[in-house]
Amino acid sequence: PFFLTAAIGKRMAARGGGTVVNISTTSALMAQPEIGTYCISKAGLNTMTRCFARELGPQGVRVNAISCGVIKTAMGDHTLNDPGRYADMMKINPLKRPGYPEEVASTALFLATEASSYSTGLILQVDAAGREGGIDLARIDAGHFEARFHQKLGGEMADLAKAKHGHFPERHGYF
């Protein structure tokens, strides 16, 4: 995301403006067992979003991010299909349901259009207030969290993991 945002942002600035919308996660807001690198990378994405918003804003380029909770997608299946994880999610989710891709898409559309023309550096949560509910997430059974995102990693991240460990780690609890 960094190099892509830098390259695209430069082109957008040259033409007088544009909008970048990054996809983040509420996992960036807390430390979770077994998916530490995912939490760290998404926290970095949030900071990167705010930094590029400051740097590119004067040239008319807005940079925002969507911080997703559990969304009904293949990535959300590990929570939605596990009764224990699902019960834990319901403890902190006042709407008592997962989010849907269409809800993330409509948020992206809002951030990409003039409807949000005075917003930049915004990390907009689409999570049913699950992370805002004041519940100490560290108390939720850590055994229900599992790192499945590693299957989605590719390119430089996978190469870095291979270089460090000689193979692609099956789990990300390798700090």
Among this protein's residues, is 38 annotated catalytic?
Answer: yes
**Rounded CA Rg of the chain:** 17
Beta strands in the chain (DSSP E): 18-25, 61-68, 123-126
Beta strands in 108-148 (DSSP E): 123-126
Q: How far apart are CA 146 and CA 10, in angstroms?
A: 38
Residue 11, CB-side half-sphere exposure with 13 Å CA sphere = 6
Q: Which of 38, 86, 100, 118 is catalytic?
A: 38
The answer to whether residues 147 and 38 touch, using CB atoms and an 8 Å cutoff, is yes
Q: Which positions are catalytic?
A: 38
